[in-house]
Amino acid sequence: MEKVKEFTLLDFEDVRLFVNGEWVTAASNSYFTLTNPSTGEVVTKIPRGGKVEAKDAIEAASQAFQSWSKLSAYERAEYLLKLRDLMFEHEEELAAIMSTEMGKAFTEARGEVKYAASFLTWYAEEARRIYGETIPASVPNKRLTVIKQPVGVIAAITPWNFPLAMMTRKLGPALAAGCTGVVKPASQSPLSALAFAKLVEKAGIPNGVVNIVAGATREISDEIFENPIVKKISFTGSTEVGKTLVEKSAPQLKKLALELGGHAPFIVFEDADLEKAAEGALASKFRNAGQTCVCANRIYVHENVREEFTNILVDKVKSLKVGNSIDETTQIGPLVNKEGVKKVEEHVSDAVAKGAVVLHGGKALGEEGCFYEPTVLGNVTKDMLIMNEETFGPVAPITTFHSEEEVIKEANDTIYGLAAYLYTSNISRAVRVSESLNFGVIGLNDGLPGTAQAPFGGMNQSGYGREGGHQGIRDYLEEKFISLSL
């Protein structure tokens, strides 16, 4: 980790979990190792937390809930803003940690720190706007009101592709609402969460309000789902795992928010600004080396502009710099691990076997690390794996269409429904197509629609619930109706 001269947040010789304001090792005395996907070198070892730590964390959160939920929204907002300021103060270090553990290009990692902090700012403000309701009664001697109260202890199960932003997108509204909780970070990116916990400590947030337990995924999540103290769980990850969590949540009817997989169509109409569309495709497809749930996964270009659009995109992709993620000039870092590279290889070889043409890239790079060349495929057809599954890698498959009706039908022909993109300069078409696409987020002439103040979430098998925006705090609140008879 050459990037940052001095690390002040974590001691890499002795990484610990954060439970009830204490830095603890695992009761099992076991560890797991973290490998840098740029170099294949071991970064450090992390205590493998399990049932014991998860239970302790839940109980600590329950204890802390008694006082945290009683603070005024203004006091909780102050804590969130202090935490936000600390994130800015430690931006370089947080970015370097993230980049080293999961391979995000350093400049992008820096952007993610800002993105993550923006959820704290937004929810500090939303905390002050948790309004209730007064309802006119049907008789003169009654007064009807609805108040909102925090649901209690929550758990956030967070992914490795946005280790900080997906955590604050869950914790920001939870803490603002008055909830306390436990974070289970992905095993590929626990250090970002633990470094964040150091900031929680520095911000003076009371013990037990935020707990971070990394380690044995199954054991920790079993405790989260079985322990009756936990009232709500927010999960970001695969659709496959999301389905098992729905079953696990059933016995206690726990509230569940699921932000799952995607398979985003990216549609370029013949009336689009092609330069802007190619820029948007580049941003959407190659952000985080193609490892986002909202990445363009299938690019539909009108037959009449296929050649022109493809040439512009290929030129842009050729100029992307691949390299060690910690290098500030790198634009495409490694994939998170070898399995990630294998999946991309499978998608590309399946496409080529079925007639796709490699217009640029098309292979894994080097022995060390987990690199895959930024790739563009032409002549892609519907029967290819890449047109049916999430790739999670830097491959842009291009196919063509002839009519608006046809492309809407193709775009909607998926089990997923997270994000979709369209590029057009025709205002009527823009409205018509946006309204016809069955996806939770639409990028209309916009390759990067995600932002703290807007709701983010999926339809269909991309999950349910919304994060971000004023909507994102709803699930952390119960509505209580009070009927007063005078």
Those residues whose C-beta lies under 8 Å from the C-beta of residue 381, and which sit 6 or more positions away, are: 354, 355, 356, 387, 399
**The amino acid at 305:** V
Minimum distance of ligand SIN from residue 292's CB (angstroms): 3
Q: What single string gives the DSSP state of each residue in 302-353?
A: EGGGHHHHHHHHHHHHHTPPB--TTSTT-SB---SSHHHHHHHHHHHHHHHH
Nearer to ligand SIN, 208 or 242 (CB): 242
Nearer to ligand SIN, 50 or 450 (CB): 450
- Considering only the stretches 193-201, 216-224, 291-299, 322-330, report the one whose residues sit in contact with ligand SIN under the rule CB under 6 A: 291-299
CA-closest candidate to residue 408, choices 443, 436, 385, 441 = 436
Is 162 a binding residue for ligand SIN by CB under 6 A? The answer is yes
How is the beta sheet containing 142-150 ordered, strand by strand?
Answer: 133-135, 142-150, 477-485
Is 450 a binding residue for ligand SIN by CB under 6 A? The answer is yes
Is 293 a binding residue for ligand SIN by CB under 6 A? The answer is yes
Nearer to ligand SIN, 186 or 267 (CB): 186
Reading the block at residue 82, the tokens are 């202090």
Minimum distance of ligand SIN from residue 37's CB (angstroms): 18
Is 294 a binding residue for ligand SIN by CB under 6 A? The answer is yes
- Considering only the stretches 5-13, 202-210, 287-295, 386-394, report the one whose residues sit in contact with ligand SIN under the rule CB under 6 A: 287-295
Residue 373: active-site member: no
CA-closest candidate to residue 203, choices 63, 84, 95 = 84
Is 292 a binding residue for ligand SIN by CB under 6 A? The answer is yes
Coil, helix or strand at residue 164: coil
- Rounded to whole angstroms, the Cα distance separating 342 from 293 reads 18
Helices 165-177 + 73-89 axis angle, to 10? 160
Minimum distance of ligand SIN from residue 344's CB (angstroms): 17
- Considering only the stretches 4-12, 226-234, 292-300, 469-477, report the one whose residues sit in contact with ligand SIN under the rule CB under 6 A: 292-300
x-or-dash string of contact with ligand SIN, 85-114, rule CB under 6 A: ------------------------------
Question: What is the H or E stretch that residue 86 is in?
Answer: helix 73-89
Let me know: does 378 contact 349? Beta carbons within 8 Å.
no
Is 440 a binding residue for ligand SIN by CB under 6 A? The answer is no
Minimum distance of ligand SIN from residue 252's CB (angstroms): 27
Catalytic residue among 112, 179, 223, 293: 293
Residue 259: active-site member: yes
Those residues whose C-beta lies under 8 Å from the C-beta of residue 240, and which sit 6 or more positions away, are: none
Nearer to ligand SIN, 161 or 221 (CB): 161
Residues annotated as catalytic are: 259, 293
Interaction site with ligand SIN (CB under 6 A):
162, 236, 292-294, 450, 456
